[in-house]
Chain A
């Protein structure tokens, strides 16, 4: 007989860990929506020692959201800056026209 699967409950807002990006304590529910409602790309990395975060997210995220959150290669910071400059210029142009 198969062992009954345990439901995974993530830590509540009464438990926090240090966020490498923000520099202060943060709770899981924030990390879960940090990236425009998708999980922070570091969520697996930061939370895996506390509970089965990967399994939990695989059960709760759609395949698309999973891929959007974790499968995209990260860019060096300087490239992000260049892209943001381009976006800002475009947005200003649109505003002016």
Chain B
């Protein structure tokens, strides 16, 4: 019988996180405080984060020990299994060998607790009594609620009102773990009250929910704030996944030619790839791809059309207006891997050509999710479907080329609380709007001629 899944013993759980900052070919530029024009200091962040997390945010140490108390909690679901997707391979009739890491086995159903657990722990040992955060659909809010419950911390989640109404089960999950979940904008903060005074029916936004959470954390005694993506320490904690994966691939006797993850805010993608990026820096030939929605394919296909708007090289200037093109929006900021909600570490790897991005249209992602559910059984979170869709593309390409590629992708979470999106897809509600492929193709031809911005000049 062939081995379907590779499960590490508990003693093989990694004892350290990997910090890519130690190995980057060029260092990350620290963001500047707009008021002082100096790099952001630990004191700037101290009102909302405990010092151990701030230290990790700027640390250049390659390996950082995982505290025993965190390891104990990780053992609830870690090490997570690595699967060989035999049924998907058979369905696609591909010579590719496909592996996926199942991060959906955590109690919250996703990779998010990999950082929520250590964040709760470092807050606990720093004297924090209550943690505030914001959430949209609730994946992060539920992960933090679960983690705070394990460490006996209070947790309050400002959930964007439209999400609060649309995703009641996530809210109930948070409450089950003992957190308080409030629809944002709320009457509990100055920020919320000001918004409601202006618009009592405001459906909220992530920006508003962040303002409320920060206001509470920055002004209450013994309270702090927690963020589930973007920041360096979040990426650091997530590497426990990629480090396990390296051990499991070794047991499988394979090494990935291609690694794929979906790249929303960057944390699940980073967790899987960063240890492998180190291998790539050391000379391994790996194609590492972040899969993103077809928000603007010209961003992923034509990054050379852009320059950056800040010294941290994360926010591109508005380059497209020079084209006079009537399709590509002149004021587009940036898509996927370059938008400001993306982790600076991931943007930096992209600029340094260590990873790349591909955009996938909505219908293709759901179709991939259905194929995966029918072959491998698991129902994926819609974000995760982006990674599956790209894996299918690469597996079919391998078939076309007759190559035995090894593909590894991150199955970042289950979709059992996202069935509404599947229902819309299955009822054809997502399929009535045809994509304007001809226009996309024309735009891509246009930007081929553009000069490279300075970051890309060799």
Give the residues in chain A near B218, CB-CB below 8 Å: 84-85, 88-89, 92
Residues A49 and B436 in contact in the complex (CB < 8 Å), given A76-B31, A79-B34, A85-B48: yes
The answer, yes or no, to whether B210 is at the interface (CB within 8 Å) is: yes
Give the residues in chain B near A35, CB-CB below 8 Å: 205, 207
Taking a contact as CB atoms under 8 Å apart, the answer to whether B231 and A77 are in contact is yes
Residues A54 and B309 in contact in the complex (CB < 8 Å), given A23-B137, A88-B215: no
- Of residues 38 through 89 on chain A, the ones whose CB sits less than 8 Å from some CB of chain B are 40-42, 44-46, 48-51, 53-55, 66, 70-71, 73-89
The answer, yes or no, to whether B429 is at the interface (CB within 8 Å) is: yes
A11 shortest CB reach to chain B, Å: 7
Complex Cα–Cα for A22 and B334 (A) = 17
The answer, yes or no, to whether A25 is at the interface (CB within 8 Å) is: yes
- Nearest neighbor of B309 in chain A, beta-carbon distance: A73
Residues A82 and B315 in contact in the complex (CB < 8 Å), given A17-B362, A76-B340: no
Taking a contact as CB atoms under 8 Å apart, the answer to whether A11 and B433 are in contact is yes
Taking a contact as CB atoms under 8 Å apart, the answer to whether A95 and B362 are in contact is no
Question: How big is chain A's contact interface, by range?
Answer: 35 or more
Complex Cα–Cα for A36 and B446 (A) = 35
Interface string of B177-207 (1 = CB under 8 A from A): 0000000000000110001000100010111
Give the residues in chain B near A77, CB-CB below 8 Å: 227, 230-231, 340-341
Give the residues in chain A near B299, CB-CB below 8 Å: 45
Taking a contact as CB atoms under 8 Å apart, the answer to whether A53 and B329 are in contact is yes
Give the residues in chain B near A91, CB-CB below 8 Å: 190-191, 215, 219
Taking a contact as CB atoms under 8 Å apart, the answer to whether B440 and A49 are in contact is yes
A14 shortest CB reach to chain B, Å: 7
Taking a contact as CB atoms under 8 Å apart, the answer to whether B33 and A84 are in contact is no
- Nearest neighbor of A54 in chain B, beta-carbon distance: B329
Taking a contact as CB atoms under 8 Å apart, the answer to whether B47 and A22 are in contact is no
A16 shortest CB reach to chain B, Å: 7
Taking a contact as CB atoms under 8 Å apart, the answer to whether A74 and B315 are in contact is yes
Residues A73 and B362 in contact in the complex (CB < 8 Å), given A20-B293, A89-B47: no
Taking a contact as CB atoms under 8 Å apart, the answer to whether A71 and B230 are in contact is no
The answer, yes or no, to whether B76 is at the interface (CB within 8 Å) is: no
Complex Cα–Cα for A19 and B167 (A) = 14
Q: Which of B162, B167, B329, B418 contacts A45 (CB 8 A)?
A: B329
Taking a contact as CB atoms under 8 Å apart, the answer to whether B47 and A23 are in contact is no
Taking a contact as CB atoms under 8 Å apart, the answer to whether A85 and B340 are in contact is no
- Nearest neighbor of A16 in chain B, beta-carbon distance: B424
Give the residues in chain B near A82, CB-CB below 8 Å: 33, 40, 44-45
Taking a contact as CB atoms under 8 Å apart, the answer to whether B214 and A84 are in contact is yes
The answer, yes or no, to whether B264 is at the interface (CB within 8 Å) is: yes
Complex Cα–Cα for A44 and B162 (A) = 21
Give the residues in chain B near A75, CB-CB below 8 Å: 34, 310, 315, 340
- Nearest neighbor of B443 in chain A, beta-carbon distance: A48
Question: How big is chain B's contact interface, by range?
Answer: 35 or more
Give the residues in chain B near A88, CB-CB below 8 Å: 191, 214-215, 218-219
Complex Cα–Cα for A34 and B199 (A) = 12
Give the residues in chain B near A30, CB-CB below 8 Å: 162, 203
Taking a contact as CB atoms under 8 Å apart, the answer to whether A22 and B433 are in contact is no
B206 shortest CB reach to chain A, Å: 5
Taking a contact as CB atoms under 8 Å apart, the answer to whether A95 and B190 are in contact is yes
Give the residues in chain A near B295, CB-CB below 8 Å: 20, 42, 45-46
Complex Cα–Cα for A80 and B45 (A) = 11
Residues A76 and B312 in contact in the complex (CB < 8 Å), given A17-B362, A85-B44: yes
Name which of A23, A51, A86 has the most chain B CB atoms within 10 A of its CB: A23
The answer, yes or no, to whether B330 is at the interface (CB within 8 Å) is: yes
- Nearest neighbor of A14 in chain B, beta-carbon distance: B429
Taking a contact as CB atoms under 8 Å apart, the answer to whether A23 and B315 are in contact is no
Closest 5 A-B residue pairs measured CB to CB? A22-B136, A70-B331, A23-B137, A44-B329, A74-B340
Further pairs besides A45-B295, A53-B329, A76-B312: 15, Cβ < 8 Å: A11-B433, A17-B362, A24-B167, A30-B203, A36-B205, A44-B329, A49-B435, A49-B440, A74-B309, A75-B34, A85-B214, A88-B214, A89-B47, A92-B219, A95-B190
Chain B interfacial positions (CB closer than 8 Å to A):
31-35, 40, 44-45, 47-48, 136-139, 160, 162-163, 166-167, 190-191, 195, 199, 203, 205-207, 210-211, 214-215, 218-219, 225, 227, 230-231, 264, 293-296, 299, 309-310, 312, 314-315, 317-318, 326-336, 339-341, 344, 361-362, 382-383, 418, 420-421, 424, 429-430, 432-433, 435-436, 440
27 contacts between A and B (CB under 8 A): A18-B293, A18-B362, A18-B383, A20-B293, A20-B336, A21-B206, A25-B420, A33-B203, A42-B339, A44-B329, A45-B295, A45-B296, A49-B436, A50-B435, A75-B34, A76-B31, A76-B340, A76-B344, A77-B230, A77-B340, A78-B40, A78-B231, A79-B32, A79-B40, A81-B214, A82-B45, A84-B218
Chain A interfacial positions (CB closer than 8 Å to B):
11, 14-26, 30, 33-37, 40-42, 44-46, 48-51, 53-55, 66, 70-71, 73-89, 91-92, 95
